[in-house]
Chain A
């Protein structure tokens, strides 16, 4: 498999979408991935207000939420005739609709897009069901390369305790019961989710996942996600920075931080290249 680490941000993996100008995309695309019941949605719910607090407009999106195919997928999953290839392509349709009609417009407008699952879940489910890896990788190849893919990793035992304690029952699709991986829901869940985790693990390197240990407490997981996101999203506006320094000065009797005027002038200079800085001081 090819490595995507060195691709520039906000391009596509393999195939350009017709009619999209990639140079217009200004926002940040953050993906939260991981197996079922690992706690992704809970974290996304906390991350959104945290990002907004720092002044970022956030679009949160997730699987089967498209205006086009969301309803159709839910209905198809309630029936009993959804085959693995059909399911994969139905989710791919849903993803394409959200990508082109929600994610790309939001990125164009400079939003932080926070997505609960991405193509990796669609790919993992297909591969875990025995579908051809190259086929699904190429099919999903129109996806944007995210700024960060945060892979919430846990062992099957952690997932089981979340399912049993949190939901009280195993889900048909989360147990891969469509392909009867085991004698009953429990056995099928264990086998299917183990496969999924294995497939996610194998994608970590080629797709540049940042692995987050999701067996920790939710607070710790949240902190890990915050740290990872801070690396790619500017988490402080100039005004907030000034306010923070001012507050620090007021508290500190030692005056370790420079005075307000200096801070204001120094801040933009730090972002300028050395050559340009010399030119400025020469004036």
Chain B
């Protein structure tokens, strides 16, 4: 489905519903990777400066349809991939992505977008070296979120789907459907499943074990081994 990553850098992805604890785990993992000598960078879902204003306008004025919502997020993703992720992977960095195309596969399909269409839409994406899925029951995730945060937002709560007029109820139903989509994707996408009901320490230990298995125990040469590649490029 995705393009094979033949670049020297590594791409690590965390996925899961809101409140699954994936960002916390990614943060801990990145600190550990840095200590091991890797150059670590981040890319967050929906964070392209080029697209930011358009997304903001669309959300504020509630202008999105399922299709335009899907397309603007793909545009955002494409910009981050073309301008940020790929150049950093070329330089040999470890890029940590908080959410990836899988988020679109889950959310957009719940919004009614055709499953095959949205999978094709992201065909230009690179296959991650590792994709972690934080598996958590809906009630646990909702408990973490609804207690601690301020008011939910319109699209975040899936209000555009018309599931319920009550925002919290809508959020509940929306996240439940997204969860189903994620669960159905586990085998198809080859996720490394992390049991997100376990303690933070246990989850982190499991992630590091998988990373070591994938990256090998040998540390990267120098910081990035950039000298070699610069020489190759200038030839």
Whether a CB of chain B sits under 8 angstroms from the CB of A24 is no
Query: Which A residues touch B234, using CB under 8 A?
Result: none
Whether A89 touches B71, Cβ cut-off 8 Å, given contacts A19-B112, A81-B50, A139-B121, is yes
* Docked pose: A47 CA to B113 CA in angstroms: 35
Judging by beta carbons under 8 Å apart, are A16 and B114 in contact?
Answer: yes
Query: Which A residues touch B123, using CB under 8 A?
Result: 132, 135
* Docked pose: A82 CA to B74 CA in angstroms: 14
Q: How far, in Å, is B19 (CB) from chain A's closest CB?
A: 27
Q: Quick one: which of B39-85 are within 8 Å of A by CB?
A: 48, 50-51, 53-54, 57-58, 63-68, 71-72, 74-75, 78-79, 81-83
* Docked pose: A82 CA to B78 CA in angstroms: 10
Judging by beta carbons under 8 Å apart, are B53 and A75 in contact?
Answer: yes
* Docked pose: A139 CA to B63 CA in angstroms: 21
Checking A89, A101, A142 against B74 with a beta-carbon cut-off of 8 angstroms, the contacting residue is: A89
Most A CB contacts (10 A, CB to CB) among B48, B53, B74, B111 go to: B74
Query: Which B residues touch A93, using CB under 8 A?
Result: 54, 68, 71-72, 75
Q: How far, in Å, is B113 (CB) from chain A's closest CB?
A: 6
| A contact face: mostly helix, strand, loop, or mixed | helix
Whether a CB of chain A sits under 8 angstroms from the CB of B24 is no
Interface size on B, residues (CB 8 A): 32
Q: How far, in Å, is B106 (CB) from chain A's closest CB?
A: 16
Whether a CB of chain B sits under 8 angstroms from the CB of A233 is no
Whether A83 touches B67, Cβ cut-off 8 Å, given contacts A68-B54, A135-B124, is no
Q: How far, in Å, is A43 (CB) from chain B's closest CB?
A: 29
A-B contact count (CB 8 A): 101
Q: How far, in Å, is B47 (CB) from chain A's closest CB?
A: 14
Whether a CB of chain A sits under 8 angstroms from the CB of B120 is yes
Q: How far, in Å, is B108 (CB) from chain A's closest CB?
A: 10
Q: How far, in Å, is B93 (CB) from chain A's closest CB?
A: 18
Q: How far, in Å, is A100 (CB) from chain B's closest CB?
A: 5
Contact string against B for A residues 58-72, beta-carbon threshold 8 Å, 1 for contact and 0 otherwise: 000000000111011
Whether A72 touches B51, Cβ cut-off 8 Å, given contacts A18-B112, A19-B112, A97-B63, is yes
Query: Which A residues touch B53, using CB under 8 A?
Result: 71-72, 75
Q: How far, in Å, is A103 (CB) from chain B's closest CB?
A: 13
Query: Which B residues touch A15, using CB under 8 A?
Result: 114, 116-117
Whether a CB of chain B sits under 8 angstroms from the CB of A92 is yes
Q: Quick one: which of B3-60 are within 8 Å of A by CB?
A: 48, 50-51, 53-54, 57-58
* Docked pose: A96 CA to B121 CA in angstroms: 14
Most B CB contacts (10 A, CB to CB) among A84, A89, A131 go to: A89
* Docked pose: A134 CA to B120 CA in angstroms: 9
Whether A68 touches B50, Cβ cut-off 8 Å, given contacts A85-B124, A89-B74, A141-B117, is no
Query: Which A residues touch B116, using CB under 8 A?
Result: 15
Q: How far, in Å, is B207 (CB) from chain A's closest CB?
A: 30
Subset of 22 A-B contacts with CB under 8 Å: A15-B114, A15-B116, A16-B114, A18-B66, A18-B111, A18-B114, A68-B54, A68-B64, A71-B53, A72-B51, A72-B57, A81-B79, A83-B83, A85-B81, A86-B75, A86-B82, A88-B78, A96-B71, A97-B65, A131-B124, A138-B120, A142-B117
- Taking A14-B117, A69-B54, A83-B78 as known contacts, 20 extra A-B pairs with beta carbons closer than 8 A to each other, sorted by chain A number, are A15-B116, A16-B114, A18-B112, A19-B65, A67-B63, A69-B72, A71-B57, A79-B50, A82-B50, A82-B79, A85-B81, A86-B82, A89-B74, A92-B75, A100-B67, A101-B65, A134-B120, A139-B117, A141-B117, A142-B117
Q: Which residues of chain A have a CB within 8 Å of any CB of chain B?
A: 14-19, 67-69, 71-72, 75-76, 79, 81-86, 88-90, 92-93, 96-97, 100-101, 131-132, 134-135, 138-139, 141-142
